[in-house]
Amino acid sequence: MTLLAHGVGSRTDLPIPIGFALYGAGAAILASFAVLLLFWRTPHLGGPDSGRPVPAGLQRTLDAGGVRRALQLVALLLAAFVVVAALAGPEETSRNLGPWVLFVTFWVGLVPASLLLGPVWRVANPLRLLHRLLRRWGPDAPGAARLPALGLWPAAGALLVFVWLELVYPDRSEPLTVAVFLLAYAVVQLGLALWFGEGWFAAGDGFEAYSTLIARLSPWGRRSDGRLVLRNPLAGALATPAQPGLGALVMVLLGSTAFDGLTRTTWWQTGPGAANDWFSGTVGLLASIALVSGLYVVGTRLSGRLAGQEERIQPARYAATVIPIALGYTVAHYFSLLMLDGQTTWILLSNPFGADGVDLFGTYGNRVDLTAVSADLIALVQVGAIITGHVVGVVLAHERALLSARRARASDQLPLVLVMVVFTLGGLGLLFGF
Amino acid sequence: MTIRPARLPRALAASALALALPLTGCAGTDEGTASDTTTSPTSSSATAAGDPEPTAEPAQEPGQRLEVTVAGGQLSGDTGRVPVPVGEQVTLVITSDVADEAHVHGYDLTADLQPGTPAQLTFDATIPGVFEVELHDAGTVLLTLQVS
């Protein structure tokens, strides 16, 4: 259909100026070695029990079952409304609320929401509410015992399906596609939750796992005794449990965002992706994820070998340190989409069913202002996000290495840091458009 | 992605085309001067009102003139990624051998294409970014404007 990659949108970003790309690359390399050679030599960040507890009353309110059910009910009503609007609203994507809410407001908006407020989708996940209602009549979670062994692999699979829909499926922007996807996703997830029990959502709902992953870098955390704390986001990220599939989840995010960037380059559009069909897209998406995964596994295993540690456990051990890099990629690629084309949601909300003369909030006649954020600011945010993600990732990897061996040598960490540099230079290269 | 205005049913479009043919045949006689053979640009659906109003004044034609021809599904002319300085006036001239509608994304401008008749869109490139110019029915991307 068209060459623009992600779900919906009327524009893509300009290539970043060459100066930005070069300064960014230099800064990333310099920062990496500064962290390795000059930073602390003993573990420095707080552990999983660090942080300042929030007032007990606040925690009681936030953790109250009633509050969660209420939030889940609100989310459920909104989701149902979006499905109905997608099915009964105008047929044209430009006038239908569904695609804009799913691909921009929800999917992209989940990132800042989780980064600021914590794992919001775990709290407000409407499927959890439906599951509570349905489980009385369903089987008594016969698969619950097998769930821990699956780790986050199911969530990585669910996210892979979603990013394929978002970036590859040719009819991704059709309102009908959005409605069918949302309904099918709910049915499949609920079925699996009835089989595996309520714990399924944390392990297998891609959106919840995504929100929880991003929230690892939020100031909100939970001590091992369950107390809600405010703490250094870096300590929160390092406290991420090393579940099976955590690395896969991060790699799906990193690889798919890289692929989104790749599809915007002239090289892809005139070369491997020229056919612009589902086949080239599927191959490109899987190849991107395989490439970043391969680099990551080689980097971590090599670092482990140098440090004389068991190689097999290294990819899982360092998976959390790549979260900031994946987040940096995400911000760099979707910031402008949320700020510019994201305005469409608020315009269409005034008349979700396209009825004549309806203008609930007085915004229906508005036009998306594609100059609301200047091209310079977009480029600055893009490079800033990539570099910040890189620096935080290298710092986390450094701390993680010190935690695994008190006398960890800086040189042992070099392979992983080099892989991170490759991710970052690759990310800048994609923004520059090669 | 796609911002996809409602399409005319093909039968309807074809009959409209049959009616239009004699007229365009006349206009086609002086094809050398693009000014006479242009179909006036039409802004799309509800989001029409806005600053990059197309001005159909081919007489002066300053700025950048871009021409694309579609024949048998093949593109020729100024295809690919075309850099345009911000603020420059752009004149797009699109000639297709089948009836279709051209759409400049972001600027949200559309032009009806009649077979063999060049359609012209003139606008000021005031919005920075990368924007596709696409054929709605065929789904072909004619060119990509890189306004910076």
ipTM for the predicted complex comes to: 0.83
Say if residue B148's pLDDT is above 50: yes
Tell me which range, A42-51, B37-46, B69-78, is most confidently predicted by mean pLDDT. B69-78
Q: Are A196 and A146 in contact (CB under 8 A)?
A: yes
**What is the spatial distance between Cα A41 and Cα A402, in angstroms, rounded to a whole number?**
7
Compute the radius of gyration of chain B from its Cα atoms: 15
Q: Name residue, tokens 């490079």.
A: A383
**Chain A within 8 Å of B46 (Cβ-Cβ)?**
yes
Query: Closest partner residue to B131 among A7, A11, A15, by Cβ?
Result: A11
Report which of residues A165 and A407 the model is more confident about: A165
Taking an 8 Å cut-off on Cβ atoms, the answer to whether B45 and A95 are in contact is yes
Pairing mode, strands B141-147 and B129-135? antiparallel
Alpha-carbon distance B27 to A145, whole Å? Answer: 77
pLDDT band at B61 (very low <50, low <70, confident <90, very high): low
In DSSP notation, B43-73 reads E-STT--SSS-----TTT--SEEEEEEEETT
pLDDT at A39: 78
Q: Is A133 exposed, middle or buried (CB count within 10 Å of its CB: 0-12, 13-18, 19+)?
A: exposed
* Residue A1 in this model has a pLDDT that exceeds 90: no
Q: In percent, how much of chain A has pLDDT > 90?
A: 66
CA atoms of A222 and A230, how far apart (whole Å): 8
Taking contacts as CB-CB distances below 8 angstroms, the residues of chain B near A170 are none
Q: If pLDDT is split at 50, 70 and 90, which confidence band does B2 have?
A: very low
Res B116: pLDDT: 87
**Alpha-carbon distance A96 to nearest alpha carbon in chain B (angstroms):** 10
Confidence of residue A6 (pLDDT cuts 50, 70, 90): low
Nearest residue to A413 via CA among A394, A388, A386, A428:
A394
Separation of alpha carbons B41 and B53, rounded Å: 10
pLDDT in tens, B100-111: 999 999 998 999
Q: Residues 103-142, chain B: which have Cβ within 8 Å of A?
A: 105-106, 108, 126-132, 134, 139, 141
| A93 in B contact zone (CB under 8 Å) | yes
Judged on CB neighbours under 10 Å (0-12, 13-18, 19+), A14 is: buried
The dihedral sign for the CA sequence A85, A91, A94, A95: negative
Residues of B with Cβ-Cβ distance to A172 under 8 angstroms: 1
- The Cα of B81 is separated from the nearest Cα of chain A by a number of Å equal to 8
Q: Please answer whether residues A344 and A100 qualify as being in contact, where contact means their C-beta atoms are separated by less than 8 angstroms.
A: yes
> Which pLDDT band, with edges at 50, 70 and 90, does B60 fall under?
low
**Structural tokens at position B88:** 């420059």
Q: Do B3 and A94 touch (CB under 8 A)?
A: yes
Give the separation between CA A316 and CA A338, rounded to whole angstroms: 32
- Considering only CB atoms, B106 lies closest to which of A10, A91, A92, namely A10
In this model, does residue B9 exceed pLDDT 70?
A: no
SS3 B97: coil
Give A347-390 pLDDT, tens digit per residue.
999 999 988 888 899 898 888 899 899 999 999 999 999 999 99
* A6 neighbourhood in chain B, CB within 8 Å: 1
Interface size between A and B, measured as CB pairs under 8 A: 85
**CB pair distance less than 8 Å for B1 and A94:** no
| Residue A266 pLDDT grade (very low, low, confident, very high; cuts 50, 70, 90) | confident
CA atoms within 13 A on the CB side of A77: 5
Q: Is the pLDDT of residue B45 over 50?
A: no
Question: In 3-state terms, what secondary structure has residue A153?
Answer: helix
Q: Which of B3, B86, B131, B132 to substitute to test the interface with A, most A CBs within 10 Å?
A: B3
Query: What is the per-residue DSSP string for A81-113?
Result: HHHHHHHHS-SSGGG-HHHHIIIIIITTTHHHH
Which residues on chain A are in Cβ contact (under 8 Å) with B131? 10-11
Per residue in A197-229, pLDDT (tens digit) is 999 999 999 999 999 999 999 999 998 888 999
Query: Looking at this protein, which amino acid is placed at residue B127?
Result: I
Q: Measured between beta carbons, which residues in chain B are less than 8 angstroms from residue A10?
A: 1, 3, 105-106, 108, 131
CB-based contact, A18 to chain B, within 8 Å: no
Q: Rounded to the nearest 10 degrees, what angle do helices A323-336 and A110-117 cross at?
A: 130
Structural domains of chain B sorted by starting position, each given as residue range(s) with its CATH number in brackets: 64-137 (2.60.40.420)
B136–chain A nearest CA distance, Å:
9
Q: Which two tokens stand for residue B111?
A: 């032009």
The Cα B45–Cα A98 span in angstroms is 19
Write out chain B residues lying below 8 Å of A1, CB-based.
2, 139
> Is residue A423 within 8 Å of residue A354, measured between CB atoms?
no
CA angle A270, A419, A41 (to 5 degrees): 155
- The answer to whether the Cβ–Cβ distance between B45 and A13 falls below 8 Å is no
Question: Per-residue pLDDT averaged across B92-102, rounded?
Answer: 91
Q: Which of B54, B40, B55, B12 is nearest to B113 (CA)?
A: B40
- Mean pLDDT, rounded, for A235-255: 93
Nearest Cα of chain B lies from the Cα of A20 at a distance, in angstroms, of 15
Q: Say if B7 is an interface residue toward chain A (CB within 8 Å).
A: no
| Res. A434 pLDDT band, cuts 50 70 90 | low
> To the nearest whole angstrom, how far is the Cα of B48 from the nearest Cα of chain A?
9
CA distance A286 to A197: 30
Give the pLDDT of residue A45.
81
| Mean pLDDT of all residues belonging to chain A | 91
Q: CA B129, CA A13: separation in Å to the nearest integer? A: 5
pLDDT at A104: 94
Cα–Cα distances in Å, from B120 out to A49, B30, B104? 67, 16, 12
Please report the pLDDT score of residue A365 as a whole number: 85
The pLDDT of residue B35 is 37
Contact call for residues A52 and A229 (beta carbons, < 8 A): yes
The DSSP code sequence of A26-54 is HHHHHHHHHHHHHS-SS--S--TT-SEEP
What's this model's pTM, rounded to 2 decimal places? 0.84
